[in-house]
Amino acid sequence: MSVNDNNKTGYIHSMYTGGMVDGPGIRTVIFFAGCNMRCKYCHNPDTWARSRGKIMSVQDLLDEVLKYRSYYRFSGGGVTISGGDPLMQPDFLAEVLAACRDKGIHTVIDTAGCAPEEQIRRILPHTNIMMLDFKAIDNDKHMYITAQPIAMPIRTLEISREMGVSVWIRFVLVPGLTDDIDEMREMARFFKDFPNIEKIEILPFHKSGEYKWKDLNIPYELHDTLPPTAEQLRVAHEIFGV
């Protein structure tokens, strides 16, 4: 019997249906408001502040999600919860995930994994896949890119292995920032110790969200950075074996 609190509320930045790149199949993607990272290449800085979100209940979200149940069933899809970072609202996230899975809906969380261990252990049992946005393996580099240390994302990955939760790694290739060959090789070696990593995605840097930084009056340091070349992407794919 479900003991979920469908009246519990949280802060939602936005959501869209028909997502095809945020997990398997056709998905509804829900963007939670709030993030404790300040990634230099973030394309959603408008999701950083929880105050920019709309208050919604678990039932509000479930009502929207269930409208597209036939699409999930047909395509092997479901619901992906992104952000911001959904781990910034752990209690609400746990309730949303549990409510979806009670209805037989496949769930994915898209996170940078920068949260305390007790929160990770509470959340992971409720999701089918964790998409972990891994920024760097070197702590100094991680601090420079995100303003947060690497320890918690590493611990999140270790807990996922311990709990047997499937992981998809996402790595953004940013020329001059994350494209150092030796660092990528070190990261690739590190990932080999995690048999629960099912997929590694190399995402090319883009500036489609640069205008948001300007609108929010936040300095954008990558104005002159170009997307990676085909050769840079080829090298990265070769290093990670994907």
pLDDT digits (tens, 9 = 90+) for 155-210: 999 999 999 999 999 999 999 999 999 999 999 999 999 999 999 999 999 988 89
The answer as to whether 129 is a domain residue is yes
pLDDT attached to residue 237: 98
The answer as to whether 68 is a domain residue is yes
Tokens of 88: 């910034």
pLDDT attached to residue 7: 86
Between CA 162 and CA 141 the distance in angstroms is 27
Distances (CA, A) of 88 to 7, 57, 100, 147: 19, 16, 19, 16
The answer as to whether 4 is a domain residue is no
pLDDT attached to residue 63: 95
The answer as to whether 154 is a domain residue is yes
Between CA 203 and CA 4 the distance in angstroms is 36
The answer as to whether 1 is a domain residue is no
- One-letter amino acid at 98 equals A
Between CA 239 and CA 20 the distance in angstroms is 26
pLDDT attached to residue 2: 44
Between CA 55 and CA 6 the distance in angstroms is 13
Cis ω before 84 (30° cut-off from 0): yes
The answer as to whether 190 is a domain residue is yes
Tokens of 51: 């105050």
Q: pTM for the whole thing? A: 0.93
Low-confidence ranges of the chain (pLDDT < 70): 1-4
Tokens of 230: 């085909």
pLDDT attached to residue 153: 96
How many domains are there within the chain? 1
The answer as to whether 3 is a domain residue is no
pLDDT attached to residue 94: 95
Query: Can you name the residues that pair with 17 across neighbouring β-strands?
Result: 28
CATH of the domain at 43: 3.20.20.70
Q: Domain containing 182: what range?
A: 9-240
Consecutive H or E run containing 118 = helix 117-123
pLDDT attached to residue 64: 94
Between CA 41 and CA 130 the distance in angstroms is 21
pLDDT attached to residue 199: 96
The answer as to whether 2 is a domain residue is no
How many of the other CB atoms lie within 10 Å of CB of 24? 18
